[in-house]
Amino acid sequence: MKGPVLTIVVPCYNEEEVLPETSKQLSAVLTKLIDDYLISRESKILFVDDGSKDRTWALIEKEMAINPFVKGLKLARNAGHQNALLAGLETAATQSDCVVSIDADLQDDVKVIRTFVEKYRDGFDVVYGVRDKRETDTFFKRATALGFYRLMNKIGINLIPNHADFRLMSKRALNELFKYKETNLFLRGLIPLVGFPTTKVFYDRKERFAGESKYPLKKMLAFAFDGITSFSITPIRFVTFLGFLAVIISAMAGGYAIFQELAGHTESGWTSIMISIWFVGGLQLLAAGIIGEYIGKIYREVKRRPRYAIEVNAYSNMALGKQRLEVLTNTVGK
């Protein structure tokens, strides 16, 4: 029985320090799976260079020259992690039965890919890699991550706790995912909407093999807020609630002021006036900011700009041969 064609998609942004080791470990995983007749010999590793400024693409080209598993996709500019991942998924889905996505930093356990494939062969279309523990994280990161997942659950966004972008998806699940055309991409929220049979595989996350994290606190907060505003209008409803609360408090304060006036106990109220002004002003700024965030998302969506641009597509041998022919033709023409 011929096994399914598997492609491992690896988004890369300035990953020159870790890329050779990532290629080595993933190639070993594919070799073992092929030897055990779990996947097809046509399976591949697709590195997606997301506009890196270092030698990432040069190393991908080097790996392609010496490693038959490795293919490359070079984006014309930095499109962001989610868009780079989507570019890899859309490219890989054309010739694959299933696709695994994994970050290049080797924090996710590559050995778990075998379990992913076994679950896929058992009939699951989506297999989520879920962290069993968060011992490698700081207390602050653990606390904020837990708070984020609880908040998302409270406002009705169905996320898989402790799951990032380490997962397997079947071809039909990917084709369903590609029907979602929004520009504000948050794959962790979109994929649970796809449906089809799903399961989880738990694993221990490792320390980063080399290099620095591409998601510092500022980026993580922006990513979390983007996910919330892409899937829920709860923040706007919360602002509405605050507005009603401010009106009630103001009415109570007004009633108290009238009572004091009638009782003849009026005093200068500079402090209370200033507090009220700052309170109401803060609510107005908060409301304007949140509404502006949603308007900004609408602005980006209606323009329908491409989410990424591909400069070099060396995923298939046919595509690579075509590009080499074009280079040769241009050289001869000159």
Q: What is the DSSP string of 277-325?
A: HHHHHHHHHHHHHHHHHHHHHHHHHHHT--S--EEEEESSHHHHHHHHH
- In the chain, the percentage of residues whose pLDDT exceeds 90 is 34
Q: How far is CA 144 from the centre of its chain?
A: 17
262 and 178 co-located in one domain: no
321 and 177 co-located in one domain: yes
Q: Which two tokens stand for residue 230?
A: 């892409």
179 and 266 co-located in one domain: no
Contact call for residues 125 and 169 (beta carbons, < 8 A): yes
When divided into structural domains, the chain yields a total of 2
pTM > 0.85: yes or no: no
265 and 138 co-located in one domain: no
Position 61 in a domain: yes
133 and 281 co-located in one domain: no
- pLDDT, one tens digit per residue, over 249-267 is 666 766 666 666 666 655 5
Position 224 in a domain: no
192 and 253 co-located in one domain: no
19 and 114 co-located in one domain: yes
- pLDDT, one tens digit per residue, over 73-120 is 999 988 888 889 999 999 999 999 999 999 988 888 899 999 999 999
Position 147 in a domain: yes
163 and 254 co-located in one domain: no
197 and 208 co-located in one domain: yes
Place of tokens 């990161």: 141
- Helical H runs in the chain? 19-35, 56-66, 81-92, 112-121, 139-154, 171-177, 187-194, 217-231, 234-263, 270-303, 317-333
94 and 150 co-located in one domain: yes
pLDDT value, residue 6: 94
Position 1 in a domain: no
CATH number at residue 161: 3.90.550.10
Q: What are phi and psi of 133, to 5 degrees?
A: -140, 160
189 and 257 co-located in one domain: no
**Mean pLDDT taken over the chain:** 77
* Domain that includes residue 260, residue range: 234-303
* Bridge partner residues of 334 (DSSP): none
131 and 267 co-located in one domain: no
Position 269 in a domain: yes
3-class DSSP assignment, residue 147: helix
pLDDT value, residue 114: 94
pLDDT value, residue 326: 43
Position 226 in a domain: no
Q: What are phi and psi of 326, to 5 degrees?
A: -65, -40
- pLDDT, one tens digit per residue, over 127-184 is 999 887 656 556 666 666 666 667 666 666 677 777 878 999 999 999 999 988 877 7
